[in-house]
Structure 1
Amino acid sequence: MEYIYSEEVDPKLYETNGLVNQLKLRTHKDSVMEIRGALRAQEDWSKHVHQINNYHGGLGDPYSFIRVTVPECLPDRLELISYANEYAFLYDGKCLSVFSCLHTSTNFDLDDMEKLDLQDTNGNAHGILETFSHDVLSREIGPSTRPEKRIQAQILSEMIAIDRPRAMVTMKAWAKFVQLAAETRKSDFKTLEAYLPSRIIDAGELIWYGTLTFGMGITIPEHEKCLCMELAKPGYAALGLANDLFSWEKERIAAEKMGQNYVFNAIWVIMQEKAVDESEAKEICSDEIRRYMAEFTQVVESTKNDQGISKELRKYLEAVLLSCIGNIVWSIYCPRYRVSSDC
């Protein structure tokens, strides 16, 4: 990949906790557009959905999420994918209560999910599937349209104005993600091997596919899409496990407050499977991240000059690797995963 919009960061300026070996962090040269997009999303959410309190999203100091995970984002798309990503972060917090009900109820189906309110799981408002699963590609809104759907329609309109074909790919992927993610948390996973495929889905494999292809102007040929997802699997495994490692404390506390005896997190699964304490489970998880990072780095290196696959696929795989590195560094420094007395 030719680097045009990003610059390499001096390794002395960031930590990786030993999870990244000889791979360099890159950051987008433009910091203004990411900040603008994230703050605009927060403002719209506060105005139209719910007031934001004690919230931390993608912005951070010194590293913000989009700049380090999509360092080669096309400049005219940076603000928009920052907006969309911040919207996803805002939604993520509301989804936790929904998914906790999915886990604790044995007779919970999609019709039940549509009755869940994002603020109150006993409410009567429609849920997240209305926003993303029904007519996801429609920009039509009316008096009864939920505010979340209005924002989603606005995102789609802005994306279409820039790049209609890739906007369609992104929103379809996002809708499919929500449907699949609703199923991933219904089970108690007894082993890390059984847990990981669901974690890859839940970590946003499809959302990130849409983000990278739209943000970087990548088009994966139809005949390579299955190969694309297969080759990228180790990268998404590393992404999901890193998320679990760094968000563990916050997720554990949230689960306790909701009265759950289960946490959808690799640390919890490892503790149960291996009969180890939290500290040992974190070490095992860290080792798994290193293993998947090494495996995926080898995939990227072995395909970099492979003329048997398209240039677009090779570019995508390298973009996922940059995302893996950026995600780890961001996770170490971001306020989003820091535990506070109010979390």
Structure 2
Amino acid sequence: MEYRFSNPVSPSRYDSKGLIADIPVRKNIFSEAEYVGSIRAQEDWNVLVAPIGEFNGGLDPELSFVSVSIPECLPERLEIISYANEFAFIYDGKQALLPLASESMNETLELFLQGATTGYINPQGSGKNKIQAQIFNEMVAIDRPRALVTMKAWAEFLQLTSSRDRSVKFDTLDEYIPYRVWDVGQMLMFGLVTFGMGLTIPENDIERSTEATRSAFAVIALTNDLFSWERERDAAKRDNMPHVVNAVWVIMGQHSVSEEEAKQICHSKIVELVQDYKRIVEQYKKDESVCLDLRRYIEALQYNISGNLAWSLTCPRSVPRGKI
């Protein structure tokens, strides 16, 4: 993959904790556009939905989320991608506080389906609806075909998410990982990356792309769980929840180990999955029978792994993605 819009970040600026092997962190050289998009999303939420209060979102003085997780995002698309991503962070963080949360999610699904089928979202109704319309209509103005694909991917994510049983308890990590891979936003990121980088994945290759990148999203999910464990454990205790939807909790039960031992097992599993994904990236780089954009997408997601880690370490107070 050609690197035109990003530079490598010095390893001295973050401690990888031995989790990402030799995958470098790269940062988009037009990262100021992420600040514009993210702040605009926060301001729109404040005005159209409700005051956010104390909220960090994806921004960080050094390594903001989109700039390091999609480092090759096209410069003219970085602002709207950041706006959409910040909306997702806010939505994740505020969803439980909104009245009739499941109805709110279903309403969002209807809007995404409307965009995917008609190519337009009417900016009517609630403030949240107006923000979603803003996202889609700005994307359509830049690249209509890929915006439609993105809306379809996001609708697919919400269709499954809205029907999930959030009270389910997992007995093993092998049972838990597929659940969290989807929950962490595999199809949301598919939409952000393909639109942001201007990639076209043929319809008959989308399922293949989902399968090929599963270990990458498993890494991201387990990394988020590892770094958010204490906060989620304490929240579960406060809310009298019977279990915690977190890999550390699952590992503690599966292996009858302490928190610290479970965290080490989680760490080791992340390292194993990173090596799995590195092999997949190398495999697809050499496979010229696969379309170029699919190969570029698979390669790009290794920077989602390293960027997510670097951002998680430098901006630990933000809401972890995928806890709707």
TM-score per shorter chain, which class? over 0.9
Inter-partner Cα distance in structure 2 for 1:221 and 1:315 = 13
Alignment-derived partner of residue 132 in structure 1: 109
Q: Which residue number in structure 2 is paired with residue 220 of structure 1?
A: 201
Using a 3 Å threshold, how does the CA distance of structure 1 residues 230 and 184 change in structure 2: closer, same or farther? farther
Aligned-pair CA distance for 1:6: 0.2
Does structure 1 conserve the Cα–Cα contact (< 8 Å) formed by 2:14 and 2:313? no
Shift of 1:278: 1.1
The residue type paired with residue 169 of structure 1 is V
1:169-213 Cα distance to aligned partner (Å, 9 max, x none): 111111221221231634111111001111000000000000000
Match of 1:103 in 2: none
- Is 2:240 the counterpart of 1:263? no
Amino acid at match of 1:263: V
Is 1:149 the counterpart of 2:129 in the alignment? yes
Partner of 2:211: 230
Deviations 1:241-279 (A, max 9, x none): 111111112222222232212111111111111111111
Q: CA deviation at 1:24?
A: 1.1
Displacement of 1:167 after TM fit?
A: 0.5
Runs (5+) with no aligned partner, structure 1: 98-117
Map 1:48-127 onto structure 2 (within 5 A).
48-95=48-95, 97=96, 118-120=97-99, 126-127=103-104
Q: For 1:214 and 1:333, how far apart are their aligned partners in 2?
A: 26
Q: Which deviations, in whole Å up to 9, do the C-alpha atoms of 1:196-238 show, x marking residues without a partner?
A: 1110000000000000000000011122222111111111111
| Unaligned ranges ≥5, structure 2 | none
Q: Do residues 308 (structure 1) and 285 (structure 2) align? A: no
Identical pairs, percent: 44
Is it true that 1:169 corresponds to 2:144 in the alignment?
no
SS at match of 2:44: helix
Moved over 6 A (4+): none
1:286 is displaced (CA, Å) by 0.7
Whether the 8 Å CA contact 1:74–1:215 is kept in 2: the answer is yes
Kindly tell me the number of residue pairs found equivalent between the two proteins.
314
Measured against aligned partners, the alpha-carbon deviations of 1:127-155 in whole angstroms (never above 9, x if no partner) come to 2221233544141143xx12111110110
Tell me the secondary structure at the aligned position of residue 304 of structure 1.
Answer: helix
2-structure distance, mates of 1:93, 1:4: 33
Question: Higher mean Cα deviation, 245-254 or 43-52?
Answer: 245-254
Give the TM-score normalised by structure 2.
Answer: 0.92
Tell me the residue number matched to 1:6.
6
- CA displacement 1:291-339 (0-9 Å, x = unmatched): 1100000110121121111111110001111101110111111143499
Out of 145, 150, 166, which is 1:185 matched to?
166
CA contact (8 A) 1:171 1:210 kept: yes
